[in-house]
């Protein structure tokens, strides 16, 4: 009768196990609910793909009988959650490192719509004039002038092809994400 008095403290769904595996694979911090989950570490994106789809020959199909982490949930949603967690974690690290300097020189405004906004920079100096060698500097004009800005959406995606999965170059994928989080290489 061993185990009859034991209490079940946690039941994990396959989605939760998959979320923990994804967070570990991408180097994202685990959410509080998944900290204690015991999940084997994935070796890369290829292993993840094969465990989700059962497509061991990389033909681009879903094979229920071979899928080990087969789930009815939206895998892209799970990946999106991990990427969101990575971005938030990166912003927290940047804030702690002092990259929030702009909060001391700017006023944060909240807007109820995405309509164009107008702000008035106070004491603005336009472009600095050039000064020839040994010439006198001229007085600068300091002015207050309204400036209008529009909300703009930027974005894109990194394709995840069967070829990329087969090469299993996870380090390139995480490096691209880190660069995107830091705003490098994106124009």
Is 160 within a domain?
no
Would you state the structure tokens that stand for residue 137, as one six-digit string?
């500097």
The predicted structure's pLDDT at residue 131 = 94
Q: Is residue 155 part of a domain?
A: no
CA distances from 64 to 21, 50, 70, 130, 182 (A): 20, 11, 7, 70, 39
Question: How many structural domains are present in the chain?
Answer: 1
Residue that is written with structure tokens 């124009």 in the block: 187
Does any domain span residue 162? no
Rounded CA separation 66/68 (Å): 6
Domain coverage including residue 60? 14-102
Instruction: Identify which of 132, 129, 150 has the alpha carbon closest to the alpha carbon of residue 141.
Output: 129
Rounded Cα gap, residues 29 and 24, in angstroms: 7
**Which one, of 116, 138, 120, lies nearest residue 129 by Cα?**
138
Residue 116, in any domain of the structure = no
Assigned domain for 19 exists: yes
19 phi and psi angles, rounded to 5 deg: -60, -40
Domain presence at residue 145: no
Beta-bridge partner residues of 149: 117
**167 within domain boundaries:** no
d(CA 94, CA 99): 5
User: Please, which residues bridge with residue 142 across strands?
Assistant: 125
- Count of positions (residues) in the chain: 187
Q: Is residue 151 assigned to a domain? A: no
Tell if the pTM clears 0.85, that is, is over it: no
Token pair of 18 as six digits: 């998959």
Please identify which residue in the block is written with the tokens 């185990």: 3
What is the structure's pLDDT at 9?
A: 46
Q: Mean pLDDT of successive 10-residue segments in the chain (187 residues)? A: 50 71 85 81 84 86 78 67 86 87 82 83 78 92 80 81 78 55 48
- 121-154 confidence digits (pLDDT tens): 776 777 788 999 999 999 888 777 777 888 888 8
């Amino acid at each position: 009768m061993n185990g009859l008095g034991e209490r079940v403290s946690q039941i994990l769904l396959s989605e939760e196990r998959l979320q923990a595996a994804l967070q570990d694979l991408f180097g994202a911090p685990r959410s509080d609910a998944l900290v204690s989950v015991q999940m084997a570490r994935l070796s890369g994106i290829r292993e993840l793909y094969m465990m989700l789809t059962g497509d061991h020959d990389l033909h681009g199909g879903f094979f229920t009988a071979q899928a080990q982490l087969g789930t009815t949930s939206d895998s892209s949603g799970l990946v999106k959650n991990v990427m969101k967690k990575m971005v938030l974690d990166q912003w927290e690290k940047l804030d702690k490192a002092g990259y929030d300097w702009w909060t001391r020189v700017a006023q944060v405004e909240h807007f109820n719509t995405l309509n164009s906004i107008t702000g008035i920079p106070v004491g603005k100096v336009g472009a600095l004039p050039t000064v020839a060698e040994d010439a006198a500097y001229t007085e600068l004009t300091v002015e207050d002038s309204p400036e209008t800005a529009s909300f703009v959406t930027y974005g894109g995606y990194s394709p995840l092809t069967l070829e990329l999965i087969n090469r299993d170059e996870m380090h390139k994928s995480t490096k691209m994400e880190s660069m995107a989080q830091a705003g490098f290489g994106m124009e």
